[in-house]
A and B are shown apart, each in its own frame.
Chain A
Amino acid sequence: MSQPVAPVRHILIEGNKSYHNITEDLCTPTEKAPSREWIIAFSIASALLGLYIFAIIWTVWKGIGSWNLNRTINWGWDITNFVWWIGIGHAGTLISAILLLFRQRWRTGVNRAAEAMTIFAVICAGQFPIFHMGRVWLAFFIFPFPNTRGPLWVNFNSPLLWDVFAISTYFSVSLLFWYTGLVPDLATVRDRASGLRRKMYEIFSFGWTGSAKHWQRHEALSLVLAGISTPLVLSVHTIVSFDFATSVVPGWHTTIFPPYFVAGAIFSGFAMVQTLMVITRKVLKLEQYITINHIESMNKVIVLTGTIVGVAYLTELFISWYSGYIYEQFAFYNRVFGIYWWSYFGMMFCNVVSPQLFWSRKIRRSIWWTFFLSIIVNIGMWFERFVIIATTLARDFLPSSWSYYSPTWVEISIFAGTIGLFFVLYMIFTRVAPVVAIAEIKAILKVAGDQYIGPNASQGHAHKQDEATKKEA
């Protein structure tokens, strides 16, 4: 039962791979000793993680006073970073869930890594509100549970509490989704391993056998998880945007925030996926699985979401003028021309202008441009959150309390440290689990492999595997 493939479809697996080749290529990184580059990079990331731990201990020991938050700017880098990290996580769910529903085959090349990235990004994001609480040992107060403080409950009307629910649900459901997809691949690694490694992977692969019935249930589960993860991912950044938009603060209270935050999240998430994938494919030699076609597709998503974000920025700007509400007008005037003007222009340039370069096919398919612009977008999306948070808070209703905020070394260290945390987790992941979903790649081989489609297809849409593969097997 072969599915026809349109002759204009892109090749997604290069190098005339057989099933066995795929297993080999994708499992090897977990089996070899780490390369020198990996060790160097891991050391740098670990050093940053060390900085993180130090800065966090400092914060907890000294108190939140060690941050530069002040009377009006009670959210500074912390919440900026929180929103930034949460946003980065969104691409993973988008790729794994929404693109699964849209049957975009190119997702298979990057979904595993992107989902892992989601989980690690959410872990990083979670650090900020938790440590912003100050008395972090009481952090469990945010959960509603019968307690010794009388029947005192959390405020279910507060968007900050919605965040607690949204982010913990998002984290745990993403983890389930990711791990369930990983189980068959861990079984593949298991079946190639021996000794202690085999024992470890036996535990982690849950006794997966590859039975047809299990596959069927696995697919059903993945599909439903994708189905519910789609509104979930929308809800998470929506609720993050509610943190701002439910208020009556000019510049925050705007109804477009939810969808615009979601678009921005996907935008920044894809930029981070690009940053990671460009490096990963090179270091782990996965260029034949994460092809330039994958990169191009992701760049298209970036230009799309960048433009959506652009529409939203201009909408906000226009409506603030249109509203005739002087406070709203001032909030936006202040964003563009106020003390933090540089962050607004940084945001506009990085998020709206620079991705437009991807209209050029040449730039879209250039590794260097992709890498460069993905970094620019990451910076731009950080600026966006900073613009929303700091610019607004620095100029509140009382001019007497207007102030300026810049971070202390502690805040900078924590931010830099979470990047270390993120990369430590990601780099461990690349060592212990296949970075590309093995089973899913095999499942699309015959509709996306270069021996089956494209100009050099030797197999047409043949049912038989090619001879080269047979000999090798």
Chain B
Amino acid sequence: MNLTNTQFVFEGKTKRVLIGGMVLGVLCLVLTALNDDEYHTRFWTNFLHNSVYFTAIAFMAMFFLAAQITAFAGWMTAIKRIWESMGQFMLVGLVLIGIVAIGVWGHLHHLYHWNDPNLNISDPSAPHYDRIIAGKSGFLNPVFFTIASIGFLAIWYFWSYKMRQTSIAQDTMETASRDYYKTERKWAASFLPIGGFLSAVFFWQVLMSVDPHWYSTMFAWYATASAWLGSLALTVMIIIYLKSRGYLDFVTHDHLHDVGKYVFGISVFWTYLWFDQFMLIWYANNGEETIYFKERMNHYPVLFWGNLLMNFVAPFLILMRNDTKRKFGTMFFVALIVFFGHWWDYFYMIKPGARIAAHEAKELAEGGHHNTGLSAPASDALAVKTVLSNVKGEQHESGEQQPAAAESHGEANQPVPNDENMHDAEASEDGAHGASADDHGAAAPADEHGTEEADHGGHGEDAHGAAAHAAEPSGFRLGFTVPGLEELGVMIGFLSLFLFFFFTQLERASLIPLKDPYLEESLHHETGANIEGEGGGHDHH
């Protein structure tokens, strides 16, 4: 076993390439800011999207490492330093999310509708009182935002810094003591509940509140699983890159195989969470919940289905076989899809909500909310409807448009009469149930509709939600309904930043913790897979 080449050198050439990437990212950010609405929504969503995605990747790298350490995992010792270094990016994340937080305080962006200065959440008697957001204002406010984003990140970073320091200190210890190992275990074990509890709040605050009227208890875990996969996929790509540069001789097919199993398994898990969230909302058909998927399926079909294609179908079919998880080329390809796929998933979580927020900001600034009839005085029963109408436009207006929508449902051979009846019957009913009615028409059969782009022309966008006001109706509009070239450029910029920071961290210590008690186990790691015609995997015997 070759343990000589254990010191990574961050070469000037690599640095220059990464700096180039960052410049590209800045350029693209500027481009998106120029070609943008008055609130620079595109610029800010790009910024938030990438900041959160890469920060969450760093967090999950550390969280996963902590889980592995706590579970006595030995196999991963060979790649431990990669995760440690990835985790340190939370320091940069602190700055990035800090900028978002400054934006919240200074009202520099309108990513968060709850932070709109024109929003009435204090005076129920005044027009446009938003009872729902008023009810949430104890949580959705700049102070809490700062705590949940920067504050929590700082705590996580502290833990990841401590774990990293302990691990590095272990390299230089003289005696064969287990002190560092024990200390590291303590940091790791305590990070699990801290990360577990706080990450939920973090994701509610920075991601879910982009759709401030909408809620889902699953959301935080869903976002976490997504970041987890981004983190694993990036790990695979980094391993393969480092091996191609002549490092990591000790990382074998067997290690890759295990990371591959995680990519496969967590992809299935992500799909499971996706399905649970989608199915439960589809099944119960509450308007205030279905709006989330309806919006995405009707106006962002490419985004919606692409998400499933890249994050479930591709890794599931490719990684089902044992041998694909052991091939560097295949794994790199899959990792690329998964990494991009979950970046896409974050775009899917942020963009539609942020566009609605911008639209609403404009409406508020112009002095009128669409749902004048319903806002005040908001009785409890009506309140639920307010949720909907805030997002969806005026109630009676959508009612008029409903037949147009129903027609197109008819084409898809749905039990249409039911939709209409329910709409008419419940439009006047109390809010608890009535709220779901107008959604019903679109949400129930939407799973078939979403794919058909042609559908949208015929739908009458006004009937279907505020995004229609915000932008031209289209299922495929680069930069808005799907990531465009500038978005890609921004992603490359952030990725370069991530890698730059990662490599500087990686350089600071040996690529493998040489005094780790699990070192030998990891070096002789075998998955037990007996793949014919494979040379490299077993040569260390």
Contact = CB atoms under 8 A, between A and B. Distances in A.
Indicate if A touches B (C-beta under 8 A): yes
Interface of A: 1, 3-10, 101-104, 231, 234, 238, 242, 245-248, 253-259, 300, 304, 307-308, 311-312, 314-316, 318-319, 321-327, 397
Given A245-B284, A248-B436, 7 more contacts: A1-B541, A104-B72, A234-B272, A246-B280, A255-B219, A255-B281, A315-B217
10 contacts: A6-B74, A6-B520, A231-B272, A245-B280, A245-B284, A253-B286, A311-B196, A314-B197, A316-B217, A324-B133
Interface in B183-231: 192-193, 196-197, 200, 204, 213, 215-221
B432 interface: yes
A258 B380 contact: no
A256 B72 contact: no
A324 B132 contact: yes
A322 B72 contact: no
A8 B518 contact: yes
Nearest to B530: A216
Contacts of A312: 217
B277 A255 contact: yes
A446 to B, nearest CB: 14
Given A6-B521, A308-B196, A322-B139, A255 B286 contact: no
A94 to B, nearest CB: 13
Contacts of B280: 242, 245-246, 253-255, 257-258
Nearest to B197: A311
Interface in B285-342: 285-286, 288
Contacts of A248: 284-286, 433, 436
A325 B288 contact: yes
Given A255-B217, A256-B221, A6 B518 contact: yes
A208 B260 CA distance: 35
Contacts of A101: 261, 265
Contacts of B396: none
B508 interface: no
Contacts of B488: none
Contacts of A256: 216-218, 221
A6 B281 CA distance: 47
B200 A324 contact: no
Contacts of A316: 217
B284 A324 contact: no
B197, B217, B218, B288 interface centre (most CB from chain A within 10 Å)? B217
B193, B268, B281, B524 interface centre (most CB from chain A within 10 Å)? B193
Contacts of B373: none
Nearest to B435: A325
B452 interface: no
Contacts of B178: 8
Contacts of B197: 311, 314
A326 B196 contact: no
B80 to A, nearest CB: 13
Interface string B248-285: 00000000000001000100100011001101110111
A262 to B, nearest CB: 9
Contacts of B135: 321, 324
A203 B63 CA distance: 50
Contact of B524 (A4, A103, A245, A255): A4
Interface of B: 70-72, 74-75, 131-133, 135-136, 139, 178, 181, 192-193, 196-197, 200, 204, 213, 215-221, 261, 265, 268, 272-273, 276-277, 279-281, 283-286, 288, 380, 383-384, 387, 432-433, 436, 517-521, 523-524, 526, 541
Given A324-B132, A324-B135, A325-B384, A258 B517 contact: no
A254 B526 CA distance: 42
A240 B524 CA distance: 42
Contacts of B436: 248
Contacts of B383: 324, 326
A7 B518 CA distance: 8
Shortest beta-carbon contacts, A-B, top 3: A256-B217, A255-B218, A4-B520
Nearest to B217: A256
A314 B201 CA distance: 10
B362 to A, nearest CB: 23
Contact of A326 (B72, B193, B380, B523): B380
Nearest to B73: A102
A391 to B, nearest CB: 17
Contacts of A8: 72, 178, 181, 517-518
A102 B273 contact: no
Contacts of B200: 311, 315
Contacts of A322: 136, 139, 204, 215
B196 A324 contact: no
Contacts of A259: 218, 221, 272-273, 276
Given A8-B178, A253-B284, A259-B273, A327 B432 contact: yes
A326 B135 CA distance: 10
A327 B431 CA distance: 11
A314 B204 CA distance: 13
Nearest to A103: B75
A91 B502 CA distance: 39
B467 to A, nearest CB: 22
Nearest to B529: A223
Contact of B215 (A5, A300, A323, A326): A323
B526 to A, nearest CB: 7
A412 B219 CA distance: 38
Nearest to A242: B280
Contact of B136 (A7, A253, A324, A326): A324
A304 to B, nearest CB: 7
B524 A3 contact: yes
A333 B276 CA distance: 25
